[in-house]
Amino acid sequence: MTAVVLATACALVYGTADFFGGLATRRSQVMAVVVLSQLAGLALVAGLLPFLPGAPTAEGLAWGMAAGVSGGVALVLFYRALATGVMSVVAPVTATTSAALPVLFGLATGERPEPMALGGVVLALLAVVLVSRDSSPAAAVRDRAATLSALAAGAGFGGFFILLSQAPEGGGMWPLFGARLASVLLIAALAVATGRSLRPGAGALGVIVVAGVLDMVANVLFVLAQERGMLTLVGVLVSLYPASTLLLARYVLKERLNAVQATGIGVTLAAVALIAAS
């Protein structure tokens, strides 16, 4: 039960962080948002390390850094999709993909989830098709590109969960520190190599910091949940995060969906819930 509570809280915080990240990306370049938000998260976890149990190991840091590379690339793609597409479409598509991967990884490594979980994966694939539809030809081109980015981001986030879960026990938050350090270095290097500015847009810095801090809080909750429960269960519960993103997008940004997309979002949430309930 503790793992379920922690994973559910993680989903709520992730969704709120993504909402703020999407808002920041509409005011600043993607690279600037990712690097600065990741730096805020790195500062937070570095400050927490002396007060949390766990000791650094080479293996734990290596798994964490691999997870950071996967998560960092995913975050760039995700924030770009949020900035160019419809937030209440991008978030569920990303979540569905990231929810399915831990289940597939579990199957490949010998786990045998119940048929209900496999049914949820099938529903998730159907949801991706429905939620990507738009009745406007111009919007269809825009949303198609955003949806592809969202799918790739979901794969990256799923990889982040899987890789981070492979860190040995006893490492505490050190693998998470390695993950954030690797993602900051990677995205900063990409920004320098491509000549992208890391200066935030006017009035965006506060939003970026909030997104980064919330994202790190969610990561800490994920590590704590994963230590207390199976990855198959924790991973899909965490992927329920679009619920809070959708609520914020609807009531703050006044976003609207057509009937097919609304159905797709309902199927998406049902798919993730079905996997989680198995």
- For the stretch 76-93, pLDDT in tens is 888 778 777 776 677 778
Q: From the CB of residue 49, how many other CB atoms can be counted at a distance below 10 Å?
A: 14
DSSP character for 252? H
Does the structure show a pLDDT above 70 at 133? no
Higher per-residue pLDDT: 241 or 189: 189
Dist. CA 204–CA 187, nearest whole Å? 19
Q: Can you give the residue ranges of every domain in the chain? A: 2-277
Contact 101, 262 (CB under 8 A): no
Spatial neighbors of 64 by CB under 8 A, at least 6 apart, are 163, 164, 167, 171, 174, 175, 176, 177, 178, 179, 182
Contact 165, 230 (CB under 8 A): no
pLDDT of residue 212: 92
**96-122 pLDDT, tens digit each:** 888 788 878 877 887 776 788 778 777
